[in-house]
Structure 1
Amino acid sequence: MPQKQKSRSWAELKQTGNECFKMGQYGEATSLYSQAIRELEKNSKKNPENLSILYSNRAAAYLKDGNCGECVKDCNQSLELSAFNVKSLLRRAAAYEALEHYRKAYVDYKTALQVDCNIAAAHDGTNRMVKALTEADGLSWREKLPPIPTVPLSVREKLAQKAAAAPTNAPPQPNGTRHADRPAPSDKDMKRGQTLKDEGNALVKKGEHQKAIEKYSQSLKHNPTEVTTYTNRALCYLALKRYQDAVADCDEALKMDGGNVKALYRKAQAHKELKDVAACVDDLNKLLTVEPKNSAALKLLQEVQKK
């Protein structure tokens, strides 16, 4: 009698699926990942993390095959098993983008950046979504966004340790978006930083810019990773004619978010006052690649070009 063929383990099926994926055989890869998922689910030693990876891998194969709906479903499964898995967030964001669900894509890209602020694909995706959402919803597009989940510090630290342990050939970030890693603030520091920032915002509304600067500076000691605190303090520096300080704060914001419209506009305003027309025009051109119809930027560009 012919000998019965031994069934392959989930790990072997996964490895073969990975090889098919690398060769562009996405349909075959999907089938192998599906078999691996079935094998692992009936395994008494199944590990949620391994299962999450299999769903994420199958999602990548679906995405490459243009099956964005199934990609989203698999990413949802992966993220239920392993919250804030960066690969699953990025794959789901790409699928949402292809499906023109730009708000959901924006949320996923921004969530991935909370885990690792040096992900080029997430920065680029965020910039594309800002452009698409501005065209669709106008300047109030942020008001229509779903809530962006906060990645807990414990999760960020755990994922950062994994990323540091894993070999990577990631290219440097374009447009100055890569910067030295900042220590992740604790949840307590984030809350205190937010309180101080809110106090600064209240002072700005009263026109008390110097006091607001002090509040924002205190806030940044607690949470130096909050982009809007830098752009808000830059606004105060502009009001007090401290233009070099405004440029410095905008540069800090742009290191974290290369397409931040407020940072680019306020930096352009500061350069205009410093009589650096070339730098001002450069800032505005960068802004207009993100928001081509930004009326304030178009008006300022027209003003400086006349001079």
Structure 2
Amino acid sequence: MPQKQRSKSWTELKQVGNECFKAGQYGEATTVYSQAIRELEKSNKKNPEDLGILHSNRAASYLKEGNCGECVKDCNMSLEFFPFNVKSLLRRAAAYEALERYRQAYVDYKTALQIDCNIAAAHDGTNRMTKALTEADGPSWREKLPPIPTVSLSDREKLAQKTTANAAQPNPSARQNGSRQSNKPAPSDKDMKKGQTLKEEGNALVKKGEHKKAIEKYSQSLKLNPTEITTYTNRALCYLSVQQYRDAVRDCDEALAIDGSNIKALYRRAQAHLELKDIKGCEDDLNSLLRVEPKNVAALKMLQDAQDKK
């Protein structure tokens, strides 16, 4: 008689889900994470934090598929099991933003910044939501916000300890579900201010068409603050202008490692891939972008151009 095949454990299923996600197979990842959740719920070693992580991982898959409603539900579950999980907060914020629920998105971005004030994606999201809410509700937009949860010092310390413990594990994944923890030390306030000044000087040079000089300014800025996404995407734009396409790809890689759904990084990397005649790379980036912004006209046009070159 053939031997009955052993069913996979929830940890094995989680790993399979992670591999599917990395390969861009988001529907398959969702299915496998669902199996992992069921297996963990059936097991005697049910750990709320582990369930929280699985729901957060499945939320990331839903977000990539453009299923923002299910992403929000999974993030809600994740945060019940694992309060103040930064990844869940950022994923829910991105889903709320896509659903144009800007007040809730603002609250999640601000909550994430209480836990770690150096999260570039949360700073960028807060700025976007501030602009959108000011346009929608006028100067008194803050009065209409839901309450922002207070993250206590003890909660922040616990979360920091968990982050440190995870970082100490052997062979940590450098990139998981579209984002990564930076190994670079957080910049000081002084370095951030100086970096911002250099970035603005670079922006001014771009407006004058002096892209090579702008690259120098952005490079100096990134030495001081290597966590600023827009500096990478701005320098990538300059590299495209001077036809240094591989450098543009590298800068977009850095930006997307911090925020896996950054529109500018996906678009500019797609441009670079197209110039390098990497049609598949171009299409993959544009399809990822269109899952976040399905009606992005520039991306739809470039996708058509890329398909015409096959």
TM-score (normalised: structure 2): 0.55
The one-letter code matched in structure 2 to 1:151 is: V
> What is residue 97 of structure 1 aligned with on the other side?
97
Provide the C-alpha distance between the structure 1 equivalents of 2:96 and 2:21, rounded to a whole number of angstroms. 21
> What is residue 154 of structure 1 aligned with on the other side?
154
Give runs of ≥4 in structure 1 deviating > 4 Å. none
Q: Mark the CA change 1:169 to 1:56 in structure 2 (over 3 Å): closer, same or farther.
A: closer
Q: Which one of the candidate residues 157, 174, 182 is aligned to 1:170? A: 182
The one-letter code matched in structure 1 to 2:147 is: P
- Encode CA deviations 1:62-119: one digit per residue, 9 max, x unaligned: 0000000000000000000011110000000000000000000000000000001110
> What is residue 129 of structure 2 aligned with on the other side?
129
Q: Mark the CA change 1:88 to 1:36 in structure 2 (over 3 Å): closer, same or farther.
A: same
> What is residue 30 of structure 1 aligned with on the other side?
30
1:118/1:179 contact within 8 Å kept: no
TM-score (normalised: structure 1): 0.56
Q: Mark the CA change 1:137 to 1:172 in structure 2 (over 3 Å): closer, same or farther.
A: farther
> What is residue 243 of structure 2 aligned with on the other side?
none
1:153 shift after superposition: 1.4
> What is residue 118 of structure 1 aligned with on the other side?
118
* Structure 2: runs of 5+ lacking an equivalent: 168-179, 191-224, 229-310
Alignment of 1:222-301 (within 5 A): none
* Structure 1: runs of 5+ lacking an equivalent: 182-254, 259-307
- Encode CA deviations 1:226-270: one digit per residue, 9 max, x unaligned: xxxxxxxxxxxxxxxxxxxxxxxxxxxxx9xx9xxxxxxxxxxxx
The one-letter code matched in structure 1 to 2:40 is: L
> What is residue 177 of structure 2 aligned with on the other side?
none
The one-letter code matched in structure 2 to 1:170 is: S
The one-letter code matched in structure 1 to 2:73 is: K
> What is residue 45 of structure 2 aligned with on the other side?
45
Provide the C-alpha distance between the structure 1 equivalents of 2:133 and 2:189, rounded to a whole number of angstroms. 30
> What is residue 272 of structure 1 aligned with on the other side?
none
Higher relative contact order (CA 8 A, sep 6+): 2
RMSD: 2.2
Structure 1 or 2, whichever has the larger Rg, is: 1
1:5 shift after superposition: 1.3
Provide the C-alpha distance between the structure 1 equivalents of 2:106 and 2:26, rounded to a whole number of angstroms. 26
1:172 shift after superposition: 7.0
Aligned-residue identity in percent = 77
